[in-house]
Amino acid sequence: IILTTMIAFWFISLGASIYLSKWSMKPVISAYEKQKNFVENASHELRTPLAILQNRLELLFQKPNATIIDQSENISQSLAEVRNMRLLTSNLLNLAKRDDGLKVELSEVDKKYFETIFDNYALLAENSNRQFTSSVQFFGKVKLDQALIKQLLTILFDNAVKYSDTDSQINIKVEKSSQSLTITTTDNGFGISDADKKKIFDRFYRVDKARTRQKGGFGLGLSLAKQIVTACGGKIDVQDNQPKGTKFIVKLKV
Ligand code: ADP
């Protein structure tokens, strides 16, 4: 009995020490480290377009007798990089401003608010050869921050367009229950693996860097979306869409 008790005690204390050591080793990211990561990521993002721009300008400088066609190709590629950097810096400024605390200004809206936004998306979808449908199922009024929710919807809609092929289907549904407003966006595009689902809300995270960069993404959209939803006291989740694609579910308290 004594031996069995001792072995049992040894196992329990071994288990407890493994558990405790794991727990105490869990990395805690300080505000300083978070800021450092952010600056490192931002600098890294700017380095590539700056290097491309430098190469292009050097080419122009070294080959002053190049054909007009070659020169204008160089200039238009350089301009594309400059545009990219302007977009990135304005995104970064927005995020930095928002880090000081996102101000939520609630006002009452009815279904017309969503329908107007979706009418614009229908036009955008048509221009990019996607099929867009929407449904707004609630009566009366709800209280929300009009500018923030519009920005959130735009991030989700833009992504659905960016990460799908032409002729794909995109749907946004808005439903209200007694306590909450649920916004569900679905697309039958490329989909997101389970491992990536855990990371897509992190700043600068992109599933496929090369493809996203080509589509003008910096990996900031969904982190901004999450920031907006959290500030509004809500939740955002991502799931697979059946049979294919991605579904984002936003629940807001109204
Ligand atoms: P970006 O601005 O680069 O698109 P996001 O933060 O909005 O960055 O998204 C992060 C990553 O999540 C994207 O790079 C993309 O790979 C993936 N993603 C986002 N939305 C979708 C979607 N609807 N379908 C497939 N992948 C998506």
The interface predicted TM-score of the complex, written ipTM, equals 0.99
Looking at residue 87, its pLDDT comes to 83
- 52 or 141, greater pLDDT: 141
Task: State the helix-helix crossing angle for 221-231 and 68-99, rounded to 10 degrees.
Answer: 20
Contact 200 CB / ligand 1 (< 6 Å): yes
Pocket test for ligand 1, best of 159, 192, 199 (most atoms within 8 A of CB): 159
Q: What does the alpha-carbon distance between residue 184 and residue 11 come to, in Å, rounded to a whole number? A: 48
- 85 or 184, greater pLDDT: 184
Pocket test for ligand 1, best of 163, 184, 229 (most atoms within 8 A of CB): 163
Cα of 13 vs centre of ligand 1, distance in Å, is 45
Looking at residue 181, its pLDDT comes to 97
Contact 168 CB / ligand 1 (< 6 Å): no
Contact 189 CB / ligand 1 (< 6 Å): yes
Looking at residue 47, its pLDDT comes to 84
Looking at residue 29, its pLDDT comes to 67
Percent of the chain topping pLDDT 90: 51
Percent of the chain topping pLDDT 70: 85
What one-letter code names the amino acid at 136? V
Token pair belonging to 18 = 């493994």
State which ligand 1 atom lies nearest to the alpha carbon of 220: 6
- 120 or 20, greater pLDDT: 120
Q: What does the alpha-carbon distance between residue 132 and residue 119 come to, in Å, rounded to a whole number? A: 10
Average pLDDT, the chain: 87
Alpha helices by DSSP H, listed for the chain, are 2-25, 31-62, 68-99, 111-127, 146-162, 194-197, 209-214, 221-231
| 61 has pLDDT over 70 | yes
Average pLDDT of the segment spanning 228-244: 96
| pLDDT single digits (tens) 4-26 | 666 676 767 666 655 555 555 54
- 4 or 251, greater pLDDT: 251
State which ligand 1 atom lies nearest to the alpha carbon of 187: 23
- 151 or 249, greater pLDDT: 249
Contact 186 CB / ligand 1 (< 6 Å): no
pLDDT band at 217 (very low <50, low <70, confident <90, very high): confident
